[in-house]
């Protein structure tokens, strides 16, 4: 995606940001024609109100955007879509930092038009907000837009191989090392769960393993669920449940976005990104309900439901990631409908075995307007995953607490001495809002990045 920003221009039109409580006093200071124009539009000075202000010749002479008294970055996200063509100069973004405002403006310009013969017309060009850290803002915009592109791409063009190709491009860009284990080699390398879930597809499963940074730096491990399409397996989803399953690799895309930010900003960490990439399909060799499958950890899992496949591929990757004893390990996954029932689509559920890490993530989320909500790893529910024939079942026998039992399943594969956080997320914007167009979304990515940055710099 081309950024909407320009470094300089021979001429530009001003964009004024007016806090809602100051609207009336600001309006009184405007010229009579401008004031009459704005009043004729019915603007009441509510946050989000926007207008292009004409000059004496009837052409655009400037624009005004009303923001809340305490704005977040998203309050600036509509500029890329609301402003007409031309070159525009944003005013003072205080109290929000110009870098955050730039991130929101850039993300608001994202469009997914890969399959459209008729592309949107070029939008406005916007001068970088004065004082913005261009490199940092660009890194964040490009990383989130990468995730959005990956998630929104239909599964016909985004299978395990294509996801691995995207990781290869990312690794090459930042000088990272990449290892991809494919097909039956997963069995040879002892990743039996990833193989079991993905073997029914004509598109071979694989484990994507990216490493970057100096070996003596703090180890940070990211794990992302990469189910490129989920039919539900033999426990087949209904048509409605399958409709948007191209986004079931949203966790992987989100973790790739975090990795891209870490590498672009050159944080002093030894980064590892693990993405088990599969397609959960139906064929003669598909894994079955009540099969018992081994794991990399060595414990056996009874398959209570083939549609609970995300936790199966993650458990092998989490066990591998934990083997290096990282200073923090985070996984992201579009894991359960139960989390969406609990918290809705905009609020990822956070499960964490370490209060310091959890508090840091929550604080970062609040600081960068990337919210989450902590939910409990409630140990008494672990018995719901007991199996009579294996060490553990991948689902509970009941219908309640599904997000918690899924997280408890994952916790079985993470030692207590490894600080670990698990995000259960939607990874999708159902509607378009300022800075957040409808489509794939890297929820919690900026919060995770901010947490890593703060931990290594503290």
Residue by residue, DSSP assigns 193-219 as HHHHHHTTSSS--EEEEEEES-TTSPE
Is 374 known to be catalytic?
A: no
CA pair distance 200, 186, nearest whole angstrom: 14
Phi and psi at 317, nearest 5°, equal -70, -40
The dihedral built from the CA positions of residue 443, 102, 136 and 355, taken in this order, carries a sign that is: negative
Six token digits for residue 187: 């069995």
Rg (CA), the chain: 24
Phi and psi at 368, nearest 5°, equal -110, 15
CA pair distance 18, 87, nearest whole angstrom: 20
CA pair distance 302, 395, nearest whole angstrom: 9
Cβ within 8 Å of residue 216, ≥6 positions away: 270
Phi and psi at 108, nearest 5°, equal -70, -20
Quickly count: other Cβ atoms within 10 Å of residue 55's Cβ: 12
Residues 199, 203, 246, 311: which is the catalytic one? 311
- The SS3 assignment for 107 reads helix
Residue by residue, DSSP assigns 268-282 as SSEEEEEEEEEEE--
Q: Is residue 228 within 8 Å of residue 310, measured between CB atoms? A: no
Task: Tell me the longest C-alpha to C-alpha distance in the chain.
Answer: 82
- Among the listed residues 272, 259, 5, 6, the one whose alpha carbon sits nearest the alpha carbon of residue 140: 259
Is 311 known to be catalytic?
A: yes
Peptide bond connecting 137 to the previous residue in cis, omega within 30 degrees of 0: no
Residues 136, 168, 237, 433: which is the catalytic one? 237
Q: How far is CA 105 from CA 5, 77, 96, 269, 343, in A?
A: 9, 4, 13, 29, 27
CA pair distance 436, 446, nearest whole angstrom: 14
Q: Which residue has the tokens 């966790």?
A: 251
Catalytic residues: 237, 311
């Amino acid at each position: 995606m081309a950024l909407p920003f320009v470094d300089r221009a021979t001429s530009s039109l001003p964009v004024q940001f007016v806090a809602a409580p100051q609207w009336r006093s600001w309006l009184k200071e405007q010229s009579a024609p401008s004031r009459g124009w704005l009043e004729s539009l019915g603007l009441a000075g509510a946050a989000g109100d926007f207008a292009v202000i004409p000059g004496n010749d009837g052409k655009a002479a400037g624009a005004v955007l009303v923001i809340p008294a305490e704005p977040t970055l998203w309050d600036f996200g509509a500029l890329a879509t609301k402003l007409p063509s031309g070159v525009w100069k944003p005013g003072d973004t205080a109290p929000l930092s110009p870098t955050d405002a730039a991130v929101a403006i850039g993300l608001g310009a994202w469009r997914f038009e890969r399959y459209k013969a008729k592309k949107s017309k070029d939008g406005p060009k916007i001068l970088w907000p004065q004082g913005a850290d261009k490199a940092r803002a660009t890194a964040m915009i490009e990383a989130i837009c990468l995730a959005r592109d990956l998630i929104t791409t239909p599964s016909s063009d985004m299978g395990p191989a294509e996801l691995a190709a995207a990781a290869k491009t990312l690794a090459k860009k930042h000088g990272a090392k990449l290892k991809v284990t494919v097909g039956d080699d997963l069995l040879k390398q002892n990743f039996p769960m990833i193989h079991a879930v993905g073997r029914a597809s004509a598109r071979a499963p694989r484990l994507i393993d990216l490493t970057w940074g100096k070996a003596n730096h703090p180890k940070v491990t990211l794990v992302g669920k990469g189910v490129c399409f989920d039919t539900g397996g033999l426990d087949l989803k209904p048509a409605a449940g399958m409709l948007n399953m191209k986004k079931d690799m949203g966790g992987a895309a989100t973790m790739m976005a975090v990795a891209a930010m870490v590498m672009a900003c050159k944080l002093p960490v030894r980064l590892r990104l693990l993405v088990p990439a599969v397609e959960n399909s139906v064929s003669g060799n598909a894994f079955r309900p009540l099969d018992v499958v081994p794991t990399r950890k060595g414990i056996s899992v009874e398959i209570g439901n083939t549609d609970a496949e995300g936790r199966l591929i993650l458990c092998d990757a989490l066990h591998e990631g934990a083997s290096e004893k990282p200073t923090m390990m985070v996984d992201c996954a579009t894991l359960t409908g139960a989390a969406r029932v609990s918290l809705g689509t905009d609020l990822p559920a956070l499960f964490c075995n370490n209060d310091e890490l959890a508090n840091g993530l929550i604080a970062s989320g609040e600081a960068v307007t990337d919210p989450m909500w902590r939910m409990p790893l409630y140990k008494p529910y672990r018995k719901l995953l007991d199996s009579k024939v294996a060490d553990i079942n991948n689902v509970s026998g009941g219908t309640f607490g599904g997000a918690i039992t899924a997280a408890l399943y994952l916790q079985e594969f993470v030692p207590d001495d490894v600080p670990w956080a698990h995000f259960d997320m939607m990874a999708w914007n159902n509607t378009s809002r300022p800075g957040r167009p409808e489509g794939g979304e890297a929820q919690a990515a900026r919060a995770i990045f901010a947490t890593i940055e703060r931990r290594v710099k503290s």
